[in-house]
Amino acid sequence: AARRLRRRWPGTSEAMFPRPPFPGKARRASASACSRSRLRAGGTVLLPSMLMFGVILASSGLLLMIEKGILAEVKPPPLHPAAGELSRRVGGEEAPGDLDREVLRDIRNRTIRSVCGQRAMPRSIWELPASQRRTVLRHLLVSDKYQFLYCYVPKVACSNWKRILKVLDGALENVNVKLKMDHRSDLVFLGDMKPDEINYRLKNYYKFIFVRNPAERLLSAYRNKFGEIKEYQMKYGVEIIRRYRKNGAKSVGDDVTFSEFLRYLLDEDVERMNEHWMPIYNLCQPCAVRYDFIGSYERLNEDANHVLEHVQAPSFIRFPERQSWYKPVTAETLHYYLCNTQRRLIKELLPKYILDFSLFAYPLPNVTSEFCRQ
């Protein structure tokens, strides 16, 4: 697997997949020894995200998925049916939608347990490096009244969840109030609390996150921030065009191409990314925080109402309907953008988001020539 990765991605670090020193020893080495060893380069321990990337590739054959997902058609099981396709139990029998949901949860839970069970993985937020701990604590919202923690992920309906928290706390009358969302006021962040208060809530409160197909989330962030928000065009767009386009000095940042955006992500340090395109894993740290529920953007209303019922929110509170002006990213739109992007660029970017694809059971993007011609 390591040889195939180095062949496909020549720039892959040797430290991620070290070659066995002698063929005979490689045969006798136990598989568990690899997970126990701490790979070092220049005296520093390999970052957890990179180590887990290696663990997943080695243990679950994800490299094969990457190769075949890019070079051959991928037909994943329908784990993420569209919203509204789920049916409830009828006559005591489990409907197909319920079975798909249980299969998805089982896959996620098993994968997370397998990856997070490695000795080098963090067991709590206090084992994280300071910068990673600050990130996750800044994204955990607290409801003391209903005793839950919600890790918000930008571009995964987090604005509507923040509205719900404000309604639950009495700061908003209802979730449909038409006003610009203030993402800081009237919200309680776990990072603003003392260590003993943080520990108590992590141990005793119901914890949940909502996830989304990583490729779709990136496209949604690109279209929204560079197509609609002048602040992002000036702050990020101008810099991206200056870096990757000849004679782009006069651009005001409103014409960034999707390929330029992906090149920018490829060159960015994951830990320093803007939250709108930082991987979900880095935002919410599912190894350090054991979430009780992982909801899907693909069945947002069903999963959101499941959470609201679980925390015993008032019955009049339901997840807000999608606004009429909102333009969702469809499968066709996503395929159009991906198929008009260099395959090499997509392949090189995948390792940065591989944990989001694998831990949350999303298929890798298919950009084969045959698929894109169709």
pLDDT given at position 278 = 98
Q: What percent of the chain has pLDDT over 90?
A: 53
Beta strands in the chain (DSSP E): 40-41, 44-45, 140-143, 148-151, 206-211, 293-296
Q: Which two tokens stand for residue 220?
A: 């949604």
pLDDT given at position 247 = 83
pLDDT digits (tens, 9 = 90+) for 280-309: 999 999 999 999 999 999 999 999 999 999
Q: Are strands 206-211 and 140-143 parallel, antiparallel or unpaired?
A: unpaired
pLDDT given at position 185 = 82
- The DSSP code for 36 is H
Query: Of the given ranges (40-44, 126-130, 187-191, 341-345), which has the lowest mean pLDDT?
Result: 40-44
pLDDT given at position 100 = 78
Decide if 289 is inside a domain. Answer: yes
The larger pLDDT score, comparing residue 79 to residue 146, is at 146
Query: Of the given ranges (18-27, 334-343, 349-358), which has the lowest mean pLDDT?
Result: 18-27
Please give the Cα distance from 16 to 195 (Å, whole number). Answer: 34
pLDDT given at position 23 = 40
Query: Of the given ranges (44-53, 74-83, 188-197, 235-244), which has the lowest mean pLDDT?
Result: 74-83
> Closest Cα partner for 71 from 372, 373, 340, 368?
368
pLDDT digits (tens, 9 = 90+) for 138-174: 999 999 999 999 999 999 999 999 999 999 998 888 8
The mean pLDDT of 95-116, rounded to a whole number, is 81
Query: Of the given ranges (61-75, 176-190, 223-237, 252-266), which has the lowest mean pLDDT?
Result: 61-75
Decide if 243 is inside a domain. Answer: yes
Question: pTM of the entire structure?
Answer: 0.76
Decide if 6 is inside a domain. Answer: no
Burial class (CB in 10 A: 0-12, 13-18, 19+), 240: buried
pLDDT given at position 351 = 95
Decide if 301 is inside a domain. Answer: yes
Decide if 244 is inside a domain. Answer: yes
Question: What is the side-by-side strand order in the sheet with 206-211?
Answer: 140-143, 148-151, 206-211, 293-296
Query: Of the given ranges (84-88, 217-221, 235-239), which has the lowest mean pLDDT?
Result: 84-88
The mean pLDDT of 315-332, rounded to a whole number, is 82
Please give the Cα distance from 214 to 353 (Å, whole number). Answer: 7
The mean pLDDT of 44-73, rounded to a whole number, is 45
- The DSSP code for 270 is G
Does residue 36 carry a pLDDT above 70? no
> Closest Cα partner for 323 from 218, 176, 225?
176
Per the prediction, the chain carries an average pLDDT of: 79
Cα 179–chain centre separation = 28
Decide if 307 is inside a domain. Answer: yes
Does residue 16 carry a pLDDT above 70? no
Domain that holds residue 195: 97-373
Question: Any residues with CB less than 8 A from the CB of 15 and at least 6 apart, and which?
Answer: 39, 41, 46
pLDDT given at position 38 = 39
Decide if 292 is inside a domain. Answer: yes
Q: Could you tell me the pLDDT band of residue 15, with boundaries at 50, 70 and 90?
A: very low
The larger pLDDT score, comparing residue 4 to residue 22, is at 4
Domain count across the chain: 1
Decide if 28 is inside a domain. Answer: no
> Closest Cα partner for 350 from 138, 69, 29?
69
Q: What percent of the chain has pLDDT over 70?
A: 72
CB 303 within 8 A of CB 295: yes
Question: Any residues with CB less than 8 A from the CB of 241 and at least 6 apart, and which?
Answer: 248, 251, 253, 255, 256, 260
The mean pLDDT of 262-272, rounded to a whole number, is 96
pLDDT digits (tens, 9 = 90+) for 207-222: 999 999 999 999 999 9
pLDDT given at position 3 = 54
